[in-house]
Every structure is written in C-alpha cells, then in structure tokens.
A and B are shown apart, each in its own frame.
Chain A
C-alpha cells in the first residue's frame, strides 16, 4: 500500500531585485519531482546542497506551498488526500499523521521546556488526556532508549545524541503514518551517529515506519534506506532499490557521487577523478540535461534535450539519455 505519492511536484521561488523588488526571474528549486513511498518503506532523497531535497520535504510537510503538482497522502487505508491544494485549516487534522525529525538536536528543542513536556506537546495539541499523555511519554522514552528520569530534566542536560532521541520520541508520539527526517544524523559525531542510525533501524523494524529520509551522506543512506532517489538541480535523476543503485548506478551523476565519497580504506586511494566543474545554478540551469557540463559521457543530444525519468530496468528509473548503453561504475 502506498503512503505517499508525489506527482510532478514543482516549487519555484521569485528572484526579486531593484528598488521596487520587482520579480526579475524565478529559481526553479524543484521541478517535476515524482516518487512514492510504500507503507513500511524508507525512501532516501539524496543530493548535494541546493539540489532541492529539503524543498521537497518542506512541500510534503506543507511548510511551503507547492507551485504545482500533487502530494497524495494516505493517512489510513482507503483514504487518500492531495495535500498540495489544502488550506491551513484543512491541513490541521492531517498534520498529526506526518511528523518531522530535524537535523539540529540543539535548535529543535525548546530549552525552557522539560523533556516530558516536549515529548507530550503533540499529544496535548491532539487533545490526549493527561493520564494517557504521561503513560505515552514513559513508553516513548523507553522506545528511544532514554531513562524515565529524563522526563523532568531540561534539554541542556543531554548530549547531542540524547537530544536527537528526544526529537525522535516527539516525532513518534502520535504514531505518525509518515516520518520525514531531514539530515537527522549529520550534526552528530560518528560514535553517536551510529547509535542513532541503529535506533532508526530498530524503530523501522518494530513500528513499521514509513520514512522519507533526506540526507547527503551515502554511507548513512546505504544503512537506513530501502530505495534511493537522487536529485540534481531540482530534478530526480535516478530512483532505484538501494543495493541496485550502489552496485550499478544508471545515471552518471550517481556514479560521480559514489566515486566522490572518501572510502575509509587507505588501500583504495582513488585514482577516481572528482567530477569537474560545479553544481549548476538552479536560477540559470544549463539547457538539456543539467548535468551535461560535468558529465564525462555527455553527447550532443544531452546539451539540447531534457531527459525524462523512465524505467530502464525493473524498479530502476533514470533520467539519462544514455542509461541503457552506458555501464556505470558503482561500489561492490
């Protein structure tokens, strides 16, 4: 069953300049993005900064109104609602079903609230009575591996990893249908990051969470996701099951990303060349395929014709004109 289906989602922002702040152009941050997440599935959305992955997440949370496209969400079996056109008040009853885990465990918790109150806040907003709230907070603390005594303490008493556990407990308080996690471990030290990754894996198993996992670290993504969608300059360039994507990328940008990750093995000092050039400006993307100026495989067609995302192998989608003929290098 599909929990979320995003279809041709686009979001652009005006560029204003001059004394009158007239609109002089538009940054197309997200363009024609389509994907779906099945119940119990974790889809990772990866890409470099500015690629639009966070904008996609914010549109799904309706923290931003999409410019066009549909965001079909199924809070329970048999009910599907398009979130894209909904008003604030129409969204309110739906919000409890989509929760967010933030990147920065320091900035995302109110320092003046006790941890128990932070975790209970979504329950309070949803009108859960006091006794039930307290029981649920105890349950959630246990679930994320924090001691019951954490309830009456303030966030500053906790380390970054523990604070991220608090943030996760808050996100899970209302048993959401979908969790959107935006770089949930990138601010943490490696040893703590590993603990949180394992916690997320445990929670996926125990609760059957459906997650959209926004991240840039391909190592982390490999551990937590079932499928991966790769974005480049506002568009999805490849979607595939995790193992397939890493073993045999079908888009040259995915290949470049995998090659660029520094491998923790001194015997494998890459001859692997970093891709040349820089990420294109989303306000002024190159014609054709946006990756063509950096692509070692580009041909004339790539410079003029925009490649559509299409199925090139079962379950494997690529937006590269040459996806079928190229044999790209992944990691074993």
Chain B
C-alpha cells in the first residue's frame, strides 16, 4: 500500500465530455487518482483510454469542444493553501502560475513545447523569469545550470542553439529542462520517450528517475508501454475507456494483476525473452470508440471472463482513489457487489 507520503494532487470523479453535433462523447468517466511527493504514478492504457486527457484536464488544457462536466482537481489537498484547479479560469493568472510553475509538463514530442523561432536559452530563461524574480543574467546562469543538470554537453554554447539544431534526445532533454525551470513539485510526463529510439529512451528514463528522486517530485508518467511502467512506476493506474479500472503498487500489478484487462494487456506485450515464434495472448476486437461505449462494464465485449447477465448490464463500482483493487465484479468484495 502507499505509504504516508504527502499528497500533492488529487483528482476526484473527473468527467470530461466532448459535445458535438452528433451527440455528446464522454471521454473521461469519473477518474480519481492521487499524486504523492517523491512517488511515481504510472498511468497506462491503450490509445483513447483518456490518459493524456486526464493530464490535460488537470492543467485545464482541455480544448473545445471538450468540457470538464464535473469532478475536482485539488492542488495540496487538505492543506490550508489547498487550491481547486477545476474552479479556476482556464486562461487566468492563477492557473498559469500552476502550469509550468508548481506543475511541470513534459510532452511526447518536445517540439510541441518548444518554439522554432527562439533559442533554447531564450525559452528556458523566459520560463524561469515568468515564475521567479530573477534578473536576466541570473536567469541565464540558472538556464545553463538546468541544461547541465539534464545532461546536455557544453551547455554554455548549446544554450544559444535553436531546437531544430538538436537531436531528438537532446531536444527531449531541453523539454525536461524547460519543465524544471520553475522548480516544480509535480511533473507530468506524457509519453516522454515514445518518439525516441530505445537507447535514447533508456537515457531519458534514467534522467527522469534521477531528477524525480533527488528533487523528491511527484511524477505522473503516462505511457502505453508496460516495460516503461515496470521500470519507472511506484504505483500504477490502468485506464480503459475513460476510467481507472485497476490501481496497484507496481510489483503487485505485475505479480498478480486483478482486472481481466490488465491481465490481457500484460500477456499481449511482446517479450524479448519469449520463445521465438510463440503466439501472443490477444484481446479480441479493439478499444471501442468512446462514442459507442458499451453498456455495463466497458470492457465486457472483449472480456474472456464475462459474467453472463451481469457485466453487460451493470457497471462495476468505481475504484476508491488510492486503494489497490480493480473495478470488476470478479474482484470487488462480495458485500460491495451485493450492495
């Protein structure tokens, strides 16, 4: 179970809809999760499960026609200075101080965070100055330190490079330096290594782990890769069609996955230790479009362990946040199911 690390962010029953002419699509359907200082929460799932959208909703970056319908995102929950991010104006001063300030963001493609038209240094210096009172030359000094910290060779010259002059790996390091500019307590990394080659990925993951540990940050690591989860996460939230369907400490999740979806997902990962020509376990069908969300448990059409007359009709109760378990009729304690 999660030890008593300080909770720095809570997401509670978050619901996000996309309102379109053809109807309303529920993209997040009651997501709850917690981030703790000094811990890594891995959020894993296939495309369309809502993992990136959860991150965007936390930072109030959901674009139209998307809309947060209900639920709360709390920064420093329970503390006197608790801030309800879901109550803020998404374009206001307060959320801008949080974005890139208290919460740093790392994207899959660092170019989406970096501008082509400014040097690496200008962009990091701007971020430093936006969130601190540092003067120009002090901010430049700090930017060089940051570039050094993320392992960029010759930072005092690279600071004047443009992003397009750097390799993919170096660009992602710059993206990480940018996310660290305001000394955040929380880092949200959305598929930070998906666009990178495997040796570069190993370097960036090692860097993220080192920074997260030395700074005691809470890291929310979003990925589709079970290998990255196994190597990085302390706790894991498995998402499927806009819901967290399983939550567990990482070793527990891999040793004894509870939800049939988690089990199937783990079995379908190609393993570099496999017997050559061995068939993989598969999950029938594909993730349904949120527009045509199945009734009952959203996984039931693909579930090998479906309970006739139940899973297709009733929704398994949602997972209470921060408690290990799975939202599945096979797993819920009997009393809860009968209630």
Contacts and interface: CB of A to CB of B under 8 A. Distances in A.
Nearest to B278: A223
A257 B202 CA distance: 10
A299 interface: no
Interface in B258-288: 264-266, 268-274, 276-283, 286-287
Interface in A169-224: 189-195, 197-198, 201, 216-220, 222-224
Nearest to A197: B280
Nearest to A253: B199
Interface stretch (A28-36, A85-93, A109-117, A271-279): A271-279
B206 interface: yes
A242 interface: yes
B227 A263 contact: yes
B199 A194 contact: no
A159 to B, nearest CB: 4
A261 B227 contact: yes
Contact of A274 (B47, B202, B232, B287): B202
B227 A222 contact: no
Contact of B265 (A190, A197, A201): A190
B283 to A, nearest CB: 4
A194 B267 CA distance: 9
A159 B302 CA distance: 15
Given A217-B270, A267-B251, A160 B286 contact: yes
B226 A191 contact: no
B230 A190 contact: no
A232 B166 CA distance: 20
A242 B272 CA distance: 10
B46 interface: yes
A30 B233 CA distance: 39
Contact of B226 (A259, A264, A267): A264
Contact of B273 (A162, A225, A331): A331
Given A189-B46, A220-B270, A331-B272, A194 B201 contact: no
A264 B224 CA distance: 12
A194 B281 CA distance: 7
Contacts of B106: none
Given A223-B274, A278-B170, A193 B268 contact: yes
Interface string B229-253: 1111100000000000000001100
B254 A219 contact: no
A149 to B, nearest CB: 16
Given A190-B268, A197-B270, A223-B274, A48 B286 contact: no
Contact of A192 (B254, B274, B281, B286): B286
Contacts of A222: 270-274, 276
Interface string B40-68: 00000011000000000000000000000
A197 B198 CA distance: 20
Contact of A260 (B201, B281, B283): B201
A300 interface: no
B149 interface: no
B270 A191 contact: no
B230 A265 contact: yes
A58 B230 CA distance: 36
B286 A194 contact: no
A172 to B, nearest CB: 19
A191 B281 CA distance: 9
B38 interface: no
B82 interface: no
A224 B278 CA distance: 8
Nearest to A243: B276
Interface in A46-62: 48-49
Interface residues of B, number: 48
A9 B237 CA distance: 48
Contacts of B271: 219, 222, 264
Contacts of B270: 193-194, 197, 217, 219-220, 222-223
Nearest to B44: A190
Nearest to B288: A159
B169 interface: yes
A246 B274 CA distance: 10
B276 A274 contact: no
A332 interface: yes
Contact of A278 (B46, B200, B286, B287): B200
B218 to A, nearest CB: 19
Given A219-B272, A225-B276, A264-B266, A48 B199 contact: yes
Contact of B198 (A216, A226, A268): A216
Contacts of A264: 226-227, 229-230, 254, 266, 269, 271
A222 B269 CA distance: 12
Nearest to A268: B230
Which of B206, B265, B279, B286: most chain A CB closer than 10 A? B286
A245 B227 CA distance: 21
A191 B260 CA distance: 13
A224 B270 CA distance: 10
A263 B264 contact: no
A190 B197 contact: no
A159 B277 contact: no
A263 B169 contact: no
A123 to B, nearest CB: 28
A314 interface: no
11 contacts: A48-B197, A162-B286, A191-B268, A194-B268, A195-B282, A201-B277, A223-B276, A258-B272, A259-B202, A260-B198, A267-B251
Given A189-B47, A198-B280, 14 more contacts: A189-B46, A191-B287, A219-B272, A222-B270, A223-B270, A223-B274, A223-B278, A224-B277, A263-B272, A264-B227, A264-B269, A275-B202, A278-B169, A331-B272
Interface of B: 46-47, 167-170, 197-203, 205-206, 224-233, 250-251, 254, 264-266, 268-274, 276-283, 286-287
